[in-house]
Structure 1
């Protein structure tokens, strides 16, 4: 079990001002504020542990309940980031999530951007899933799954969601792993203000091997630790975004997809992606417009969208760090 006293959380909050786009090039993610100034408990109140200075938060899942928090404001575009350390040992059925959503406001036409960390059997690698839902397009899921190239239970690694008017990108440490363009996603692109969430809950029915392995509470409680949680976004007042903020987010460094970033993203996907909706011919006989079907790559996937052969993990003598470890393994 993790030693809760050693868990350190730095909650980072930044609201980009109504300024010119160039002002967003310098995004400060060092300033911290008390947890209650930015977030509020969502559920499982007794399973949310906060330090005396209100800067440390741990989410627990036990037999009674999971737990979660939600941002105090809604945002219309932004860069949302968290360094997370996942529960260790046997965690089948346990789901840790870091995501944006407005499902409580737009129940039938909600938008959502997800990092979902799907529990594992002891000795097996954790898998993560990213989802992109726009305007209630849950039936057109756009899910992708990846095997992490490091052990996410021993150290914190950074997971980030970028949402601009024109694109969505997911980052692991400093590496983009997925990019979705609004022009190609069409009406399924997220378009309405969303809140930011962190949760841990029981996903026994589906999370690990399609529900074959369920949560075993003898290995609990399961603790998810968050640090460097950043909100560099555009808060809304009565559903109206701050003027000039969207342009600033679009001009920020995470939003600029350089050639080096695109190459790093391709390497990550080639080495770590184990499922893609773009290759799932059973669910989607006609690929979505944003899918770049690479014929040589498509041969690696079954008609179900799953990888034909298990990924061969490269061994390295170096201990993976946060950003550096992820880059070395990719």
Structure 2
């Protein structure tokens, strides 16, 4: 396995700065080495690990992409990594994706939670997409897209997925950007079966940038996405068939009890409590940076999904296609002294898409 020199990361300091600026407490996670929680998935020669095994880089070149997977499946949990994206022209490259899934175990009824970075044309703002699938509900995509309020190629930024029995939340640098609360009307659309964590980079020319308009140009490769501060918190599941919503068979009782206790600890943790401050920060982020929401896409879904909190004042900002009606303003991506300028920085227009 090829190895890189140790990467110096100030991500925890940066995360604290961002959280303080937003008035939020930094997410407290215990990080691990790659060997402690993960294994290569594909493109082994394109997976580069640092000497201390705490930073891993995934490469996409003309031969292949690459990816890794958690060594175990988890029944609910907090999945987090600090990621630095490839720079320059990266259109058409899904670079990278961080997701939880159980498609290899539950064929045709899998669950999935996605962070997908959609590739970028030089000079344009980066977009990230989140998505939620439950029980094979791939025909009912719950996509939302956001423009990132910083340049994700110059420094590491932390992306986290929180999955509990009652809600899914996506975080960017400790700021919640989306929450999907479970409701009886969702039925099996809410993910409920054990999942693994995946990180990948691959050629997504057919859809990743402007719906496939811009393809991967390998003249700018190889494309490198780096991960550090890897964190997995939850209940490791040895038997993927474990049932958490009913009394399990005798052979699974101990696993059931262990996971039930882990879920209680997770739900009681600060990260799982959606305080008023978090709700306000999430609303500000979505008002400033969300460019597409399935909840407002009445062309695909004339009847809103049961978990959608349709706000009339917000709905008027979106077309029937779910995209913004107008150009979105965001803070410039430049930093000063290693700190985000955020809302105090220079403003600029970007085209919502």
Same fold (TM over 0.5): yes
| Residues 133-154 of structure 1, C-alpha deviations (whole Å, 9 max, x = no match) | 0001111000000000000000
Alignment partner of 1:223 is 2:240: no
Pairwise CA distance, 1:296: 1.5
Question: In the alignment, which residue of structure 2 is the partner of 1:309?
Answer: 326
Task: Describe the shift of the 1:222–1:318 C-alpha distance in structure 2 as closer, same or farther (beyond 3 A).
Answer: closer
Alignment partner of 1:282 is 2:281: no
Question: In the alignment, which residue of structure 2 is the partner of 1:80?
Answer: 79
Task: Describe the shift of the 1:200–1:114 C-alpha distance in structure 2 as closer, same or farther (beyond 3 A).
Answer: same
Pairwise CA distance, 1:294: 1.3
Q: Which runs of 5+ in 1 are unaligned?
A: 11-26
When the two chains are superposed, the root-mean-square deviation of aligned CA atoms in Å is 2.4
Question: In the alignment, which residue of structure 2 is the partner of 1:49?
Answer: 48
Cα distance in 2 for partners of 1:284, 1:75 equals: 32
Task: Describe the shift of the 1:171–1:216 C-alpha distance in structure 2 as closer, same or farther (beyond 3 A).
Answer: same
| Residues 46-92 of structure 1, C-alpha deviations (whole Å, 9 max, x = no match) | 00012334333110000000000000000000011111000000000
User: Residues 149 and 333 of structure 2 are in contact (CA less than 8 Å); yes or no, is this contact kept in structure 1?
Assistant: no
User: Residues 80 and 230 of structure 1 are in contact (CA less than 8 Å); yes or no, is this contact kept in structure 2?
Assistant: yes
Pairwise CA distance, 1:5: 3.6
Pairwise CA distance, 1:228: 0.8
Other structure's SS at 2:109 match: coil
| Residues 199-232 of structure 1, C-alpha deviations (whole Å, 9 max, x = no match) | 1011000000010000000000000011111101
User: Residues 9 and 226 of structure 1 are in contact (CA less than 8 Å); yes or no, is this contact kept in structure 2?
Assistant: no
Question: In the alignment, which residue of structure 2 is the partner of 1:190?
Answer: 191
Pairwise CA distance, 1:285: 0.1
Question: In the alignment, which residue of structure 1 is the partner of 2:146?
Answer: 146
Task: Describe the shift of the 1:219–1:130 C-alpha distance in structure 2 as closer, same or farther (beyond 3 A).
Answer: same
User: Residues 150 and 320 of structure 1 are in contact (CA less than 8 Å); yes or no, is this contact kept in structure 2?
Assistant: no
Higher relative contact order (CA 8 A, sep 6+): 1
| Residues 267-316 of structure 1, C-alpha deviations (whole Å, 9 max, x = no match) | 00000000000000010000001111111211111111011112122348
Other structure's SS at 1:245 match: helix
Task: Describe the shift of the 1:215–1:111 C-alpha distance in structure 2 as closer, same or farther (beyond 3 A).
Answer: same
Q: Which runs of 5+ in 2 are unaligned?
A: 11-26, 243-254, 348-353
Other structure's SS at 1:207 match: coil
Cα distance in 2 for partners of 1:46, 1:116 equals: 23
Cα distance in 2 for partners of 1:305, 1:320 equals: 37
Other structure's SS at 2:64 match: coil
Task: Describe the shift of the 1:289–1:208 C-alpha distance in structure 2 as closer, same or farther (beyond 3 A).
Answer: same
Pairwise CA distance, 1:29: 2.8
| Residues 246-265 of structure 1, C-alpha deviations (whole Å, 9 max, x = no match) | 11111111100000000000
Question: In the alignment, which residue of structure 1 is the partner of 2:16?
Answer: none
Task: Describe the shift of the 1:277–1:321 C-alpha distance in structure 2 as closer, same or farther (beyond 3 A).
Answer: farther
Counterparts of residues 84-95 of structure 1 (less than 5 Å): 84-95=83-94
Question: In the alignment, which residue of structure 2 is the partner of 1:294?
Answer: 311
Cα distance in 1 for partners of 2:228, 2:195 equals: 21
Cα distance in 2 for partners of 1:233, 1:280 equals: 34
User: Residues 59 and 225 of structure 1 are in contact (CA less than 8 Å); yes or no, is this contact kept in structure 2?
Assistant: yes
TM-score by length of 2: 0.83
User: Residues 8 and 56 of structure 1 are in contact (CA less than 8 Å); yes or no, is this contact kept in structure 2?
Assistant: no
Question: In the alignment, which residue of structure 1 is the partner of 2:13?
Answer: none
**Count of residue pairs brought into register by the alignment:** 311
User: Residues 59 and 199 of structure 1 are in contact (CA less than 8 Å); yes or no, is this contact kept in structure 2?
Assistant: yes
Pairwise CA distance, 1:320: 8.5
Other structure's SS at 1:210 match: helix
Question: In the alignment, which residue of structure 2 is the partner of 1:209?
Answer: 210
Question: In the alignment, which residue of structure 1 is the partner of 2:66?
Answer: 67
Task: Describe the shift of the 1:37–1:317 C-alpha distance in structure 2 as closer, same or farther (beyond 3 A).
Answer: closer
TM-score by length of 1: 0.88
Pairwise CA distance, 1:7: 3.2
